[in-house]
């Protein structure tokens, strides 16, 4: 919170004094302030404060672009593109998709003119997400692929892997399960190229397992679920251990190993109570519902079979 008010104060003062002292205020360079403001906006856990700070960054960059030299102007264009991309995000979370789409495109145009490849990758990812949300999968796929190309130009392999995961999600939705697996394998390769000994590919392995299930490959389904759990255990990360345990529980329900599924539910509940993650709680609720349905079906089938046996016994007696 202190960072927010300090930067807001500096931005407001700099706008007021910019004509007389465009480069320096209380020891902060103009370009340094832009970079620091971008960082703080990303770190703030409050969308309302972030939006307020972002609007001031936008106004400040617009004001300063005509006043600075050709070297410094790059930083202000980068700040402007960032602020416009953020404007798109704030519209996005309010489901104002048309406005968000326009902001993302406006930011992308500035990035394209100034070779801001990393930020262009973000803009393209955001555009792809809107298209996917609205069911325009062809356009979404194109935006995602261009996002990956831009991110790899600045060697941002981990971010590129995230975008490739979106491609995998999209192809899963459209029942292109073999292609979805291929994308996930590419994402894993990128992640491992950055973190050879400590790569976190738990989510990717779980999603490969889901695709194997859709392709009716039970052996591979089991193999990737077990691999995801082993990876989570190796990382010793409670969140991913819980995530993999829930996925394992769902697998056990799918193959009707209900005793094992029940054990997974007990372990998952304990882990989720410690972690307190909304996402994991939702996953756990899904597992519990699937287990309850499967258990009820098992009870119903047992009842039907018992009635059949009793009927057959009665027929033999008479």
Encode pLDDT of 197-244 as tens digits. 778 999 999 999 999 999 999 999 999 999 999 999 999 999 999 999
Look up residue 253 and give its two tokens. Answer: 């329900």
Stated pTM of the model: 0.84
Residue 246's pLDDT band (boundaries 50, 70, 90)?
very high
Q: Is the dihedral of CA 182, 187, 188, 194 positive or negative?
A: positive
Helix (H, G, I), strand (E, B) or coil at 28: strand
Query: Which contacts qualify for 276-281: CB closer than 8 Å, 24 or more apart?
Result: 277/239, 277/242, 280/239, 280/242, 280/243, 280/246
Question: What is the overall mean pLDDT for the chain?
Answer: 88
Encode pLDDT of 189-199 as tens digits. 999 999 877 78
Q: What is the DSSP letter of 25?
A: E
Q: Which of 189-203, 239-253, 285-299 has the lowest mean pLDDT?
A: 189-203
For 225, phi and psi rounded to 5 degrees? -65, -45
């Amino acid at each position: 919170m202190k960072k927010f008010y300090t930067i807001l104060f500096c931005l407001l003062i700099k706008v007021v004094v910019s004509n007389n002292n465009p480069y320096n205020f209380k020891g902060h360079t103009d370009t340094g302030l832009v970079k620091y403001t971008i960082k703080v906006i990303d770190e703030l856990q409050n969308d309302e404060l972030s939006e307020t700070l972002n609007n001031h960054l936008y106004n400040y960059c617009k004001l300063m672009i005509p006043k600075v030299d050709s070297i410094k102007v790059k930083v202000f264009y980068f700040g402007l593109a960032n602020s416009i991309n953020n404007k798109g995000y704030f519209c996005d979370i309010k489901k104002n998709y048309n406005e968000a789409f326009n902001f993302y495109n406006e930011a992308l145009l500035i990035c394209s003119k100034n070779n801001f490849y990393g930020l262009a990758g973000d803009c393209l990812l955001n555009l792809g997400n809107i298209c996917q949300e609205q069911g325009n999968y062809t356009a979404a796929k194109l935006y995602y692929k261009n996002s990956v190309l831009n991110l790899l130009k600045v060697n941002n392999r981990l971010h590129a892997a995230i975008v490739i995961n979106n491609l995998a999600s999209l192809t899963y939705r459209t029942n292109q399960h073999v292609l979805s697996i291929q994308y996930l394998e590419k994402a894993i390769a990128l992640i491992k190229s950055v973190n050879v000994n400590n790569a976190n590919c738990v989510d990717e392995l779980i999603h490969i397992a889901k695709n194997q299930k859709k392709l009716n490959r039970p052996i591979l389904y089991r193999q990737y679920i077990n691999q995801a759990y082993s990876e989570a255990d190796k990382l010793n990360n409670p969140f991913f251990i819980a995530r993999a345990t829930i996925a394992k529980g769902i697998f056990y329900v799918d193959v009707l190993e209900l005793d094992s599924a029940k054990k997974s539910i007990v372990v998952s509940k304990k882990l989720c109570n410690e972690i307190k993650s909304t996402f994991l709680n939702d996953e756990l609720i899904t597992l519990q519902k699937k287990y309850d349905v499967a258990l009820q079906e098992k009870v119903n089938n047992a009842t039907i079979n018992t009635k059949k046996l009793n009927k057959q016994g009665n027929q033999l007696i008479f």
